[in-house]
Amino acid sequence: MGESKRERERESGGDEGDESATKRRKRERNSFVVESKTFEIDVEEKRGKIQVAIWEKKKGISSWVRLGSEV
């Protein structure tokens, strides 16, 4: 009693649980400051592949680079 839907799907081992696991996305965003610049690092996992984006911001101007394969 009180068992969540996620727990039932995990225990059943059915296709529904597997499909939802492949569609999950994990995302982490961190930032730090060096002198007058702010750097933001965004790490995202989509369909088992990792993408990283790095932003450099200073006085309203920003530039970025994206690493990893397109999903």
Q: How confident is the model at residue 60 (pLDDT cuts 50, 70, 90)?
A: confident
Length of the chain: 71
The 8 Å CB, 24+ separation contacts for 21-30 are 22/47, 22/48, 23/47
Please give the average per-residue pLDDT across 52-64, as a whole number.
93
pTM here? 0.57
Report pLDDT digits (tens) over 16-52.
444 455 566 789 999 999 999 999 999 999 888 899 9
At a CB cut-off of 8 Å and minimum separation 6, what does 10 contact?
17
